[in-house]
Structures are given as C-alpha cells and as structure tokens.
Amino acid sequence: MDFFQLFHDLFFDYTLRTVALGAATLGIVSGALGSFAMLRRQSLLGDAMSHAALPGVVLAFMLTGLKTPLVLMLGATVAGITGILLMVAINRYTRIKEDSALGIVLSVFFGFGLLLLTFLQRNPDARQAGLNKFLFGQAATLLTQDVVTMAIFGGVALLLMLLFWKEFKLLSFDRDFGASLGFPMQWLEILITTLLVIAIVIGLQAVGVVLMSAMVVAPAAAARQWTNRLGWMVAIAAGFGALAGVSGTLISSLGSGLSTGPVIVLCISTIVVISLLFATNRGLFWRWLYQQRNRRKLHAKQVLSNLYLMASQHAEPTHPHAITALKVMGAGERGVRYSLQVLAEEGLVRPAQGDQWALTPAGVDAARALLHNEA
Amino acid sequence: MNEQLSIEVTDLTVAYGEKPVLWDVDLSVPAGTLMAIVGPNGAGKTTLIKAILNLIPTAAGQVLIYGQPYTEQRHRVGYVPQRGSVDWDFPTSVLDVVMMGRYGALGWFKRPGTKERQMALEALAKVGMQDYAPRQISQLSGGQQQRTFLARALVQDAQVYFMDEPFQGVDATTERAIVELLKELRAAGKTVVVVHHDLQTVPEYFDWVTLLNVRRIASGPVSAVFTDENLRLTYGGRVAFLERNGNGVGEQGDRGVGESAVASHISPTPPRPHASTPQPRR
C-alpha cells in the first residue's frame, strides 16, 4: 500500500476513517487533560488509574454479559475511581507513602484484572473473545458506536475543562491561594481527577491499559517544551496526542496483527524525543550548540592571549610561534588549530613558515585589550 | 487610634494527630496595624496564618474579621503565601499570576478581561515590576517572585492582609521597597500581618508584634511586648544566654527549639524596646 493510497483511505475507507477518528479523539482528550495532570505532578496517577481499570472492564462484562462500549467504560471508570480512593485512603490512614500506595493499587488491581481475564478465557463462551484487546489495545476493532461514545465522553470532559479553565489553573498553580479566595479546591480536585479518568477510559480499547498512561504523560511533556503558556501547552498537547493517535493507527493498520497501543506509544515517544532535543528555547540540542559556541569563543580568546604572552618575550609582538608551543600553553590540546583559523578569519593572526603562527597588528591590539580587561 | 478590631482570634487550636501545633491562641489586632508574627522554627507561625484563613482544619477556635466570621469576609482578606509553595516553572506569565488576585472577585467561570489586566498592570507598577508583565515566571529572581506575589495581593484590594515570610530570600533593596509598600498599606488604613524572621528589624518595620511558640506568648504594641523577658519565653532561654556571652553557642531550649539556625536569627543583644521606639503610628 503506497502512501497516497493510505492517505486516500484515511478519508474514504470506512474502517480506517472510523479508527483514525477514534485515535484522534483519544489523543486530543488525553493530551489536553494530561497537561493538567503533569502540572499537578500527578502523571503517575494516570498509570495507576489505567491499570486499575482492567478488572472493571472484565467485571462489567461478567456481570452484564454485554460488550457495548458504554457498559465497559462505566466499569472501567468505577474501577479507576475505586483505585484512586483506595490510594488516598492508604496514604491517609497508614504509614505507607503516596508512591508505594500507587504501586500497591496498580499491581493488585492489574493482577486481579489479569486473573479475571484468564478465568474468562477458560470458559467455553465465545462471547468474551475480544476483551484481550484491552491489554495492549486494538484500534482496528473500533466501531462507529465506540467512536461516538468516545467522542461524547471526551467532548463533555473537554467542555468541562474549558468551563473551569480559570479555576483549574488556580488549582494547578497555587492551591492555597485559590482556597483563600473561597474556591472549593477539594471539589475542583475531584472534578479534574474524574475528567482524567474519563480521558483514560476512552482510550483503553484502542491503546490498552498497559500503555494508556503514556498518552497522558507524553503529549504534555512534549508540549511543555514548545511553549510557556498554559493555553498553548494544552492545545499543543492535544495536537500531539491526535497526531500520535492517527499515525500510530495508520502504521499498525499496515502490518497484520500489530497491537495499536505499542505503535501509538512509539509515535508519541518519537515526538517527545524530538521535542526534548529541538524545541525552541528549551531544546537540549540548541542549548548544547550555544555552549559549544561559547566554549569556542573562550578558547579563541585564550589562544590569542597565549600568543601575545609568548611574543612579549621577543622584541617584536608579532613574532611567530609554533602551534605545538600553543598546545603546551594549556588552552587545551584540542581545538588550537581551529581557534587559530577562527582568529585568522577575523584578521587577528596570520600563518607563518613551518606551522608557525603570529599575531597581526590588529591581533596585538585585541590581545592587549583582552588582557587589560582581565587585569 | 482606630478602635475597631480588624482581626479577632479566640481559642484557635490546631493539632496534627496527637501533637498540638497551635494551642489556644487569642489575637486582637486593631485596624491600621502592621503586625509581625515571630517565633522559633516550628512555633506554628505559618500554621497560624493558614488556620486563620481556613486552609487547614482546626480543632477549636473562632476567627472574626471586622466583627464578622472569616468565611463571610473573605473578600476583605488578602493572602501572600510563601514564595516556595508554588512551582515557578509553571507555564504562565507574571501578568497572569497577578490577575489571579482578581479571580475571587470575578467568581465562577468568568474570565479576566481588560479591567483585570489594567488593575494587574497598576499593581505591578506599584511594586516596580511593570516591565516584567509578559515575562515567563521561571525567569524571575527570588525578589521578583516575591514582588509578583505582593502585586497579586494588591489587586485583591483587601482590608486585611496575611503575608507568609515576604522578606524570605530577597535582597536589601527589595526588602526596603517591600517595607515601604507595607507602610503605604497601613497609611491607607489596612491591617497587615507578616510572618517575620529577623528580630532585629521588628521595631523598625512593625508597630505590633505577636510572639508565638505553639502558645501565644505575647501580643500587642512593639513598645509594650517586645521585651527581653517575652523573647526569652518565646525562644526558650536561649536569648538570655546569648546576651550574657555574646557568642552564637546557645544552650538547648526547653520548648523543642532544635535547630541552631534559630540562634543566627537572634541578634546578640536583642533590641531594647525602650532604646529604639518604633516609628510613631499614624
């Protein structure tokens, strides 16, 4: 399948279009709400929630015998919220700290969910087939009714986020100050956490419980690199989430039997790596480049003053010296030749016979000014 | 003197588990006062402010602001939390942070507009930060962060202010600017309560002081209550020792005053209230 064909199918192939729409929806919602989770330092909470949702999905099916998305999502939501409440309770009433409580809830719920899954598989009941997709996600199985349910839940979550924008910003930045203004911070906390649960639950079928937390953390982390404004951060994170969702779905649709979850996560990871390295202002690559440039500037200055100091032993300040002598002078073995070339381009030094270098009259002035400043 | 009480606290008690952090604290602060709260580390200074502002659960006690319960008077109260209590890498600008001071008056759902922006810019001008309005907050120095918080409190346009260590980590110039600002607020009839660490500057900056160490040791005009005896009671005998020996080696206080850092906050000779009278009240 060539690229053009794929692009064509994205809009006109019913299955592919449905699947891409679903992936975009989950990317937008988890990216946007994940930004708030990250700023409130609760990224890991998403991990616990998504793992905790697994037994909810299986139990919902066992109790109702239905596989409609609404029923399964409700089950996942209830289990996810139960997990959070348990974590809060463990944290409050025992001496176990938050990170350990998170680990306990995550593994116990996930283990229980796996147990239920294997139990179901032994049952000779064909209807349960397909629940496995909640582990690693299978976007190809998304139907129109799934996507519609996702869009409704996600849309409501995003609307509430926009409605409470100012309050959520206050909660994320300065909770105590918000409380002193009279806003019920605890209720806002519960609300935003519930929205995060919704964001996770709508992505479970496509991405799976194991990797869904990446869709909460990664788009936000990547977006933070590109902007210093909350509004832009949320918008960019939503965009990145959608991009990863759609591209991951397309790639996994090319190969047969590729789970969508891992592919989508690889896509968003690529976006994160690129953002960490090349984002304007914050990118590591630019910072490295800036440091190198500074280092070279310093090195060139050092070579210039060394040349001047050596020449001052002679009558003529433009007396040439061997490059080996400059290397010994301790400006660092490496890069002496490069620094000399840079200085030569600026007209401060000139090459002489036999790998020797000398200051030009302009170079003498520059070196004097340099040493004078340092003194 | 304005006879009206701006802050009235009775029997305020806070406990974490079994351990009381604040015990039966009473305060009566007249309007138009600049009051310092001093005490050793762990004395409950921050806890007192947070308890008054209803930010932490209290075991007992009542707080009145201008004669009414605090919850009904919120709009007349401004708050400056400790600078270190927030993440300064949060993606937002100085102007945005200052506008947060208007969120309470705006109420639910309404977004800040031109009026709020104007108020925030004026407040920033008052603290000398007008050029920093569009700055990302992570680029601010400690003193600039503190002034941003003060500007946010100013746009609250409150009658009573609670400030948690506004002088922490700021340079001498900024400290003087902040003190000037506090005195302006007092001149406008507002009450400002400040958690303070530097005993030496108490008589110079403030006209009232509360000495706190879990219990309220003393509270009143600086000239009346900022005495050697009260300081000794607050810091647990250590001040007297310092006075006699004139060095920094203090004996262990009996009130759980552990950190030697406390000693450095105490001047070798605590200022005598009679020698340096606080500036005349307006």
Two tokens at B63?
């707080």
Check if the interface score ipTM surpasses 0.95.
no
The CATH number assigned to the domain holding A32 equals 1.10.3470.10
Q: How far is B163 from chain A (nearest CA, A)?
A: 11
- My answer on whether A264 and A134 are in the same domain is yes
- My answer on whether A146 and A215 are in the same domain is yes
Using CA atoms, how far apart are residues A225 and A69, in angstroms rounded to an integer? Answer: 35
Is the confidence at residue B271, as pLDDT, over 60?
A: no
Are B167 and B198 in contact, with CB atoms under 8 Å apart? yes
**In B, which residues are within 8 Å of A223 by CB distance?**
none
Using CA atoms, how far apart are residues A140 and A183, in angstroms rounded to an integer? Answer: 44
Is the confidence at residue B35, as pLDDT, over 80?
A: yes
Q: How many domains does chain A have?
A: 2
**In B, which residues are within 8 Å of A181 by CB distance?**
74, 103-104
Interface membership of A181 toward B (CB under 8 Å): yes
Residue-wise pLDDT tens digits, B231-247: 888 888 655 444 444 33
- My answer on whether A188 and A316 are in the same domain is no
**End-to-end Cα, chain B, rounded Å:** 8
% of residues, chain A, pLDDT over 70 = 95
Q: Pick the closest to residue A142 from A255, A261, A33 (CA basis).
A: A261
- My answer on whether A300 and A193 are in the same domain is no
Q: How far is A7 from chain B (nearest CA, A)?
A: 36
Using CA atoms, how far apart are residues B161 and B65, in angstroms rounded to an integer? Answer: 11
Higher pLDDT: B151 or A129? It is B151
Two tokens at B238?
């250590």
Bridge partners of B219?
A: B210
Nearest-CA residue of chain A relative to B153? A177
Residue-wise pLDDT tens digits, A191-226: 999 999 999 999 988 888 888 989 999 999 999 999
**B68-69/B77-80 β-pairing:** unpaired
Residue A374 is predicted with a pLDDT of 62
Q: For residue A121, what pLDDT band results from cuts at 50, 70 and 90?
A: confident
Using CA atoms, how far apart are residues B28 and B30, in angstroms rounded to an integer? Answer: 7
In this complex, the residue of A165, A173, A183 whose CB is nearest that of residue B92 is A173
Residue A333 is predicted with a pLDDT of 61
- My answer on whether A327 and A248 are in the same domain is no
Strands, E assignment, chain A: 321-322, 349-352, 356-359
Residues in CB range of A53: below 8 A, 6 or more apart: A75, A76, A77, A79, A80, A83, A109, A113, A200, A201, A204, A209
Interface membership of A227 toward B (CB under 8 Å): yes
State which amino acid sits at residue A179.
Answer: A
Higher pLDDT: A350 or B262? It is A350
**B5-16/B60-65 β-pairing:** antiparallel
DSSP state of B250: P
Higher pLDDT: B269 or A20? It is A20
- My answer on whether A42 and A89 are in the same domain is yes
Between helix A185-201 and helix A212-226 the angle, nearest 10°, is 110
Residue B188 is predicted with a pLDDT of 93
The CATH number assigned to the domain holding A361 equals 1.10.10.10
- My answer on whether A294 and A261 are in the same domain is no
In this complex, the residue of B81, B92, B104 whose CB is nearest that of residue A229 is B92
Using CA atoms, how far apart are residues B66 and A73, in angstroms rounded to an integer? Answer: 52
User: Which residues of B lie closer than 8 Å to A, measured between beta carbons?
Assistant: 50, 53-55, 71, 74-75, 77, 79, 81, 85-87, 90-93, 97, 100, 103-104, 106, 108-112, 136, 138, 152
- What is the number of other CB atoms lying within 10 angstroms of the CB of residue A190? 13
State which amino acid sits at residue B106.
Answer: L
Domain-terminating residue out of A282, A316, A331: A282
Higher pLDDT: A255 or B266? It is A255
Residue-wise pLDDT tens digits, A132-190: 888 888 887 888 888 999 999 999 999 999 999 999 999 999 999 999 999 999 999 99
**Overall size of chain A counted in residues:** 375
CB contact under 8 A, B74 and A180: yes
In this complex, the residue of A166, A174, A230 whose CB is nearest that of residue B86 is A174
Residue A129 is predicted with a pLDDT of 63
CB contact under 8 A, B55 and A233: no
Interface membership of A159 toward B (CB under 8 Å): no
Bridge partners of B68?
A: B65
Residue-wise pLDDT tens digits, A37-74: 999 988 888 889 999 999 999 999 888 888 888 898 99
Residue-wise pLDDT tens digits, B145-170: 999 999 999 999 999 999 999 998 88
**B34-38/B208-213 β-pairing:** parallel
Residue B270 is predicted with a pLDDT of 43
Residues in CB range of B270: below 8 A, 6 or more apart: B199, B228, B231, B239, B243
In this complex, the residue of A166, A173, A181 whose CB is nearest that of residue B111 is A166
Are A80 and A53 in contact, with CB atoms under 8 Å apart? yes
Q: Is A245 exposed, middle or buried (0-12, 13-18, 19+ CB in 10 A)?
A: buried
- My answer on whether A264 and A302 are in the same domain is no
State which amino acid sits at residue A102.
Answer: L
- My answer on whether A136 and A241 are in the same domain is yes
CB contact under 8 A, A180 and B77: yes
Domain-terminating residue out of A250, A282, A314: A282
Is the confidence at residue A311, as pLDDT, over 60?
A: yes
Annotate A217-267 with DSSP letters as a single string: HHHHHHHHHH-S-HHHHHHHHHHHHHHHHHHHHHHHHHSTT--HHHHHHHH
Using CA atoms, how far apart are residues B63 and A180, in angstroms rounded to an integer? Answer: 14
- My answer on whether A132 and A100 are in the same domain is yes
Using CA atoms, how far apart are residues A75 and A232, in angstroms rounded to an integer? Answer: 33
Using CA atoms, how far apart are residues A142 and A147, in angstroms rounded to an integer? Answer: 7
Is the confidence at residue B29, as pLDDT, over 80?
A: yes
State which amino acid sits at residue B156.
Answer: Q
- My answer on whether A320 and A255 are in the same domain is no
Residue B281 is predicted with a pLDDT of 43
Q: Which three-class secondary structure state does DSSP give residue B63?
A: strand
% of residues, chain B, pLDDT over 90 = 60
- My answer on whether A314 and A168 are in the same domain is no
DSSP state of B130: G
Kindly state the helix (H) or strand (E) to which residue A149 belongs, with its residue range: helix A144-163
DSSP state of B136: B
**In B, which residues are within 8 Å of A164 by CB distance?**
109
In this complex, the residue of B103, B109, B112 whose CB is nearest that of residue A181 is B103
Q: How far is CA B65 from CA A78, A249, B152, in A?
A: 43, 60, 21
Domain that holds residue A364: 287-374
Return mean pLDDT, chain A.
Answer: 87
Average pLDDT of span B71-91: 93
Higher pLDDT: A180 or A121? It is A180
Domain-terminating residue out of A261, A282, A303: A282
Residue-wise pLDDT tens digits, A330-364: 655 677 888 888 888 888 888 887 778 888 888 88
Residues 37-96 of A with CB under 8 A from B: 39, 41
Q: Pick the closest to residue B248 from B230, B233, B267, B229 (CA basis).
A: B267
Residue A157 is predicted with a pLDDT of 96
Are B6 and B33 in contact, with CB atoms under 8 Å apart? yes
**In B, which residues are within 8 Å of A176 by CB distance?**
50, 55, 79, 81, 85
Two tokens at A125?
């009941």
Q: For residue A375, what pLDDT band results from cuts at 50, 70 and 90?
A: low
Average pLDDT of span B246-269: 40
In this complex, the residue of A167, A170, A229 whose CB is nearest that of residue B91 is A229
Q: How far is CA B115 from CA A148, B127, B218, in A?
A: 41, 19, 43
Chain A, chain B: beta-carbon pairs less than 8 Å apart = 72
Residue A359 is predicted with a pLDDT of 85
**B208-213/B77-80 β-pairing:** unpaired
- Give which of A181, A188, A230 to mutate to test B binding, by max B Cβ within 10 Å: A181
**In B, which residues are within 8 Å of A180 by CB distance?**
53, 55, 74, 77, 79
